[in-house]
A = this chain, B = another copy of it.
Amino acid sequence: MPDLNRILLVGSGGVGTMVAFNIEASGLGRVAAVLRSNYTKVLQEGFEIDSCEHGPIKGWRPSEVLKEIPTITDIPWDYIVVVTKNVPDIPPTVTDMIAPAVTPGHTAILLIQNGLNIERPILERFPNNVCLSGISMIGSQEESPGVIKHYDVDVLILGAFRNPNISRDREVASAKRFVGMYTAQCETRCRYVEDVQHSRWEKLVYNTCWNSICTLTDMDTGRIRLTDHAVQTLVRPAMEEIRAAARVHGVNLPAELCDRMLELDPLTMYYQPSMLVDMRKGKFIEVENLIGEPLAAGTTSGVPMPTLNVLYNLLKAKQWATKEKLGMLEIPPGGDYLTQRSFPKHKVHTRPVEEPSL
């Protein structure tokens, strides 16, 4: 029997909980999950999962339920799997959060997160650790604390980000070991890919464009498609800008991909992309990794991206507004128009107002 993998899971909501369940079910890994809003509920009653793949499950817990990220002890974590949102513009960053638990040179850090260049701060801080890329296609939501609705098949695309300090063989072995664990019960649901950047750009065609446009209009993908004009003037041009930016970075995405990503969600599903969900809940949005990084990747290489440029700067302003609402910014007092200008306070009419004689 192979060694059990010791896994620290950071973020156990809709996606993370199904990752944990899958690993534990394989018999090849043992998961310690760090919970936040659902900690008490799960500690007391376990998760309640309604899964399209695993059926209804009540009272399930991973091997360990933790309230915060533990400091490393003698036994290192083999993998730290991060399934939180990635909002580098709002502290604490992912890197800061996981730092106490990373054993240099040993722990592989798997980011199951969207966006571009998310590995950069990880590789900078942990130059001798493997960093893995996970792109999850699962449909799974935490409908209330500890209650998971897993409604669409769990597909996980996994590979290694390139760390120049580490041999490619070691990276690949680490990625494949995780895939082996994940697929122990079902061959198809986790797939190793050589070129993780290709997969990331591919998913950005969907994620960058739908997330930004749905969030700014406060509309789901189905409604945007029903307008038709917004698809032709915003979604498709934005998708083409992502394709152009990918191309300049050596990632060739076929033109048909845009059509596929335009119609990926059934129209009448009225799907709310994650950024729209976050915005409607008043949470921070993943604007930097989903929009800012691909935009910068393209424009710094001379690719014109006029649509995404405007979308990005509008979303960045909305992020600022969320900071203010959450009390992270102080703004100068004011707001009463009567005190703001030196208005004349006298009457300009000398003549009394009376009924005009007709």
Contacts and interface: CB of A to CB of B under 8 A. Distances in A.
Nearest to A52: B343
A270 B335 contact: yes
Given A316-B230, A317-B219, A55 B351 contact: no
B54 A347 contact: yes
B268 A340 contact: yes
A4 B27 CA distance: 94
A335 B270 CA distance: 5
Contact of A358 (B30, B217, B314): B30
Nearest to A305: B306
Contacts of A27: 351, 356
A321 B276 CA distance: 15
Interface string A68-81: 00000000000000
B269 A337 contact: yes
Given A54-B349, A321-B218, A358-B30, A335 B223 contact: no
Interface stretch (A111-119, A172-180, A197-205, A326-334): A326-334
A267 B53 contact: no
A82 to B, nearest CB: 22
A48 interface: no
Nearest to A50: B338
Interface string A339-352: 01101111111110
Contacts of A320: 219, 223, 226-227, 230
A271 B337 contact: yes
A213 interface: yes
Contacts of A358: 4, 30, 63
Nearest to A319: B227
A349 B217 contact: no
A222 interface: yes
A28 to B, nearest CB: 8
Interface in A133-162: 139, 151-153
Interface string A156-198: 0000000000000000000000000000011001000000000
Interface in A262-299: 266-271
B24 A217 contact: no
Contacts of A189: 348
B324 A54 contact: no
A348 B267 CA distance: 28
B30 A217 contact: no
B4 A267 contact: no
A343 B153 contact: yes
A223 B331 contact: yes
28 contacts: A4-B356, A27-B356, A30-B356, A52-B343, A53-B346, A53-B348, A57-B353, A63-B356, A153-B344, A185-B348, A189-B348, A217-B321, A218-B318, A219-B318, A219-B320, A223-B320, A223-B324, A224-B317, A229-B316, A229-B317, A234-B314, A266-B340, A268-B333, A268-B340, A269-B340, A271-B337, A306-B310, A307-B310
